[in-house]
Structures are given as C-alpha cells and as structure tokens.
C-alpha cells in the first residue's frame, strides 16, 4: 500500500505538481500576505486529502469484497492514515 502511495506522489509531482510548485514560490512580504498564502496552502492540502479519501473509497468499494474486509472498516482505516 505504501509503495502505491509513493508511486501516486511521484506521479502527481511529475504531472500536476511541477506546474503547481512553479506557480507558488512566494514567501510573502507582509503578515497579511503570509496569512493569505498559508490559507491557500491549507486549502490545497485539504483538497489533496479529500481527493485521496475519494480515491481510496473507490478502491475500497472495488477491492473490499475480494479481501473480505468491510467497506466501512477499510474506509475508516484509510481516513485515519490520511488525517
């Protein structure tokens, strides 16, 4: 599972991540600007977590029957790993 996560991170960095990181290089020139940048990062981080939960949920639904694991248990385990 962890090697799959690493592969997903590398895939994201090589596709979408480089573009995102190239555009977001500011450190802020005032307290207000820094707070705005921090909020933008937190929004980005939350979107990434939600996306990961949705992807994990989809995998859970398609793979849980063959594993003999309940969908709810697998989803909660995945959610705990993310948070």
pLDDT score for 81: 65
Give the tens place of pLDDT for each residue, 23-75.
878 888 999 999 999 998 888 888 877 777 777 666 666 665 455 556 666 66
pLDDT score for 39: 93
Report the candidate in 25, 20, 68, 23 with the shortest Cα–Cα distance to residue 44.
20
CB environment 44-74: b (16+ within 10 A), e (fewer): eeeeeeeebbeebeeebeeebeeeeeeeeeb
pLDDT score for 32: 94
Q: Which one-letter DSSP state was computed for residue 27? A: -
pTM: 0.48
Query: Domain spans of the chain?
Result: 45-83
pLDDT score for 67: 54
**More confidently predicted of 60 and 15:** 15
């Amino acid at each position: 599972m962890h090697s799959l996560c690493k592969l997903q991170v590398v895939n994201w960095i090589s596709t979408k991540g480089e573009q995102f990181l190239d555009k977001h290089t500011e450190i802020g020139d005032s307290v207000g600007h820094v707070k705005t940048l921090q909020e933008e990062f937190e929004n980005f981080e939350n979107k990434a977590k939600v996306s990961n939960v949705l992807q994990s949920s989809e995998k859970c639904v398609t793979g849980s029957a063959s594993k003999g694991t309940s969908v709810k248990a697998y989803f909660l385990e995945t959610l705990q790993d993310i948070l």
